[in-house]
Amino acid sequence: MLIISNLRVKVAAKLILRGISLTVKPGELVAVMGPNGSGKSTLAYAIAGHPGYTWSRGTVKIDGQNLKKMTPDKRAKAGLFLGFQYPVAVAGVNLQNLLRQSYISVSGKRIAPFEFRDLVKKKIKTLGLNADFIDRSVNDGFSGGEKKKSEILQLAILKPKYAILDEIDSGLDIDAVKIVARAINQARQDNPKLGLLLITHYQRILDYLKVDRVVIVKAGRVVKEGQSQLVKQLEKSGYAGF
């Protein structure tokens, strides 16, 4: 289980998270919603190990392992994955090579380049991408939709225990949202024990996913937790009532 307990996080000496506690069970999809500036992305980056985010209190554990003193690569090996809201371009680094080396590092399994390419091709079809997509440099010249699809491709290949998707639907058109949601559903089918923390502003991607719980974050705190019907309440009244 991914257990976040009383997490308080500072960014540049400013307290952003003010004691967040929540859990994600294996196989569970938890949606995190909240207004701009509420601390959603701070939560994602702090858990992943961004050096600019300082834990002043609290713990985050994956299946009993405390992440606080782990470097980001060790957190990944412990089973954590972060899908970025703004994936960065890495010119000159081939996407297939990055994926293969990441797969070997996280899984500990050796795999020949041609075998790995066959594996990736199957995943690419779900995302509606061309086979030569993985021959390009990482996010270099990618459209916004391609960058988000690349993040989901990594999720599908690496098969983590727990994944945080930080606004994976932002900037996507209607068709791209459907494709990304379909790929998330496929990744969950292929990896049934995947625990998923999905940060989003909008209901539309949730219409295509089976959400187990919804958590509302406001001013660095969890202010409400409930079932998927909570999203419809948000669509009607906004965050003012929480």
Q: How far apart are CA 194 and CA 184, in angstroms?
A: 11
Q: What is the mean pLDDT of residues 119-145?
A: 89
Q: How many CB atoms lie within 10 A of CB 191?
A: 19
Q: How far apart are CA 112 and CA 122, in angstroms?
A: 16
Nearest to 177 by CA among 149, 205, 136: 205
Scanning the chain, the segments in alpha helix (DSSP H) are: 40-48, 72-77, 95-107, 113-126, 144-158, 174-190, 229-237
Question: In percent, how much of the chain has pLDDT > 70?
Answer: 100
Q: What's the topology of domain 2-237?
A: Rossmann fold (3.40.50)
Q: Which two tokens stand for residue 162?
A: 């727990």
pTM: 0.92
* Residue range 135-168, pLDDT digits in tens: 999 999 999 889 999 999 999 999 999 999 999 9
Q: What is the mean pLDDT of residues 222-242?
A: 86
* Residue range 174-192, pLDDT digits in tens: 999 999 999 999 999 999 9
Q: Which two tokens stand for residue 107?
A: 């899984």
Q: How far apart are CA 185 and CA 209, in angstroms?
A: 7
**Domain ranges across the chain:** 2-237
Q: How far apart are CA 63 and CA 43, in angstroms?
A: 19
* Residue range 32-67, pLDDT digits in tens: 999 999 999 999 999 999 999 999 999 999 999 999
Mean pLDDT for all residues in the chain: 92
